[in-house]
C-alpha cells in the first residue's frame, strides 16, 4: 500500500479549472486500479492532496436544492460570484478568498476502505487544528463538517465538507473559513441548514492576522498522523 501523498498548493485558482484537474487525477487513479486488476503486475496507485483558494463561487451538490441559493444570476454577477452544480455529496457551499479549500484525492485502498471513517478523519483533522487556536470544534449529529457550540442556539459551522468516491478513490473535500467574507453566506442557506450560522477562524479568535499558510501546515500535520501518511511537497501546481 502506498501511503505517500503528493501535496500541491495551487494558490488562487478558478473553481472550474481546479475541478477539471481533480477529475483528471481522479480518473487516472481509477484507470490504474482497473489496469492492475485486469493485467498486473500491480503498480502503486498515487495519492494527492490539493490546497487552493477560489474566487467567489457557489457549488451545489447532487443531493442539494436550488431553493437554497438565495441569489439570482444578476445578483451573483454583481457580487462577482459564479455558480456550479457538481458531483459531490451535500447541499450548497460557498468558496472564496480567505478560505482554505482542501481536496484529498486518495485511493482509500492504500489506507482503509471506509468512507464514513474517512469523513470522520477529515473532521478530526480540522477539530485538532482549531484546538491549536483555543477553539472547541465539534461534530453535529447528522450534519457533516465541523461546528462550534453544537446543541445550543449559537451553533455555527466553521468548516464544510462534501466528497465523492468511486472504487474507493475520493475527490472534493473540505472548506475551512479563516478570514472569509461571511457576507457571501447571506446569499444561500448554508448546506441547506436554515437554523444555524456560519463563522470563521478570525471571527472566533478575534485575530485578523492568521496566515493561511500557518493553518495549512497544522492541517497537514494532523492529516499525516491520522492517515499515517507521508506528505511529499510538490513546488508547483497546474
DSSP label at residue 163: E
Cα 192 to Cα 127: distance, rounded to the nearest angstrom: 22
The active-site residue out of 60, 105, 146, 191 is 191
- Annotate 6-25 with DSSP letters as a single string: EEEEEEE--HHHHHHHHHHH
> Is 191 known to be catalytic?
yes
Q: Which residues 6+ apart lie within 8 Å of 42 measured at CB?
A: 36
Cα 183 to Cα 70: distance, rounded to the nearest angstrom: 13
Residue 172 zone, left/alpha/beta (φ > 0; ψ -120 to 50; rest):
left
8 Å CB contact between 58 and 188? yes
Catalytic site residues? 191
Amino acid at each position: 500500500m502506498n501511503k505517500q501523498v503528493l501535496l500541491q498548493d495551487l494558490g488562487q485558482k478558478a473553481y472550474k479549472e481546479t475541478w477539471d484537474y481533480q477529475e483528471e487525477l481522479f480518473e487516472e487513479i481509477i484507470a490504474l486500479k482497473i489496469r492492475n486488476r485486469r493485467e498486473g503486475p500491480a503498480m502503486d496507485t498515487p495519492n494527492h492532496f490539493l490546497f487552493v483558494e477560489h474566487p467567489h463561487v457557489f457549488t451545489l451538490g447532487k443531493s442539494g436544492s436550488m431553493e437554497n441559493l438565495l441569489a439570482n444570476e444578476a445578483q451573483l454577477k454583481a457580487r462577482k460570484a459564479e455558480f456550479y452544480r457538481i458531483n459531490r455529496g451535500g447541499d450548497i457551499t460557498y468558496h472564496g478568498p480567505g478560505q482554505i479549500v482542501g481536496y484529498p484525492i486518495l485511493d482509500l485502498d492504500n489506507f482503509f476502505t471506509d468512507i464514513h471513517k474517512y469523513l470522520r478523519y477529515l473532521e478530526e483533522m480540522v477539530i485538532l487544528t482549531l484546538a491549536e487556536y483555543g477553539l472547541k470544534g465539534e461534530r453535529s449529529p447528522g450534519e457533516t463538517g465541523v461546528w462550534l457550540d453544537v446543541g445550543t442556539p449559537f451553533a455555527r459551522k466553521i468548516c464544510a465538507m462534501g466528497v465523492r468516491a468511486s472504487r474507493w478513490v475520493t475527490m472534493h473535500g473540505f472548506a475551512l473559513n479563516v478570514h472569509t467574507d461571511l457576507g457571501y453566506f447571506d446569499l444561500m442557506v448554508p448546506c441547506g441548514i436554515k437554523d444555524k450560522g456560519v463563522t470563521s477562524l478570525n471571527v472566533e479568535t478575534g485575530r485578523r492576522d492568521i496566515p493561511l499558510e500557518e493553518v495549512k501546515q497544522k492541517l497537514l500535520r494532523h492529516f499525516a498522523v491520522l492517515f499515517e501518511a507521508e506528505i511529499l511537497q510538490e513546488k508547483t501546481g497546474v
